[in-house]
Amino acid sequence: MLDFKAAIFDLDGTLIDSMGVWEDIDIDFLAKRHLFVPEGYISEISAKSFKEAAEYTIALFGLKERAEDIIEEWNRMAIDEYSHHVPLKPYAKEYLLFLKGQGIKLGVATALPKVLYEPVLKNNGIYTLFDAFASTDEVVHWKGSPDIYLLAAKKLGVPSCDCVAFEDVLAGIQGIVLASMQAYGVYDKYSSHEQVQIQELSKRYIHSFAEVLP
């Protein structure tokens, strides 16, 4: 018997295996400007909204560009990959189908804009499994706060205390806890340096969705 009524999923690094794509995009984006990717940059921006990541990038490198233009460039670079090549994490679809079969509502809480999350979910055949979608584009504060998870719960029509949420980065887990949800940490190599802290805050930490299948 499951002890929750809704499950909310982050996408990058949690449900989909996409962080390598962003590493390549970051390398190419900065290389065009004769810059290198500094240590910790990818993990630093991974939980931010696109707007916050763009503003952080501008400040870090002293770029004379608008955040809106950087976001548009990132989207152009990513859209083909998300539409055709980004795969699910192992056993992710099987777990979603299991939850659906148990009558659990499914939601997405992601930093991705709709132009990226919709094609990647459709290409992997899971878009119609979800009952609600929430993007950090729709909230004021990024994933260190509870905003995105509370929005997802509101769209699902389920109290936050009856939700679980899956995340791969520490900021996301912290937001889930602040939203009074059960946090499930998901291993991803790009956030492995945060693993100990994630495990401390999570009800459970998994390396694969096979671990939560019956």
Digit-by-digit pLDDT tens for the chain (214 residues) are: 799 999 999 999 999 998 788 888 999 999 999 999 998 898 788 767 788 899 999 999 999 999 999 999 998 999 989 999 999 999 999 999 999 999 999 999 998 989 999 999 999 999 999 999 999 889 888 778 999 999 999 999 999 999 999 999 999 999 999 999 999 999 998 888 899 999 999 999 999 999 999 9
Is the CATH number 1.10.150 carried by domain 19-84?
yes
The whole-model pTM stands at: 0.88
Determine the CATH number of domain 6-18+87-212.
3.40.50.1000
Backbone region of residue 37 per phi and psi (left: phi > 0; alpha: psi in -120 to 50; beta: other values): beta
**CB 14, CB 186: distance < 8 Å:** yes
Residue ranges of domains in the chain? 6-18+87-212, 19-84
Pairing of strands 105-110, 132-135: parallel
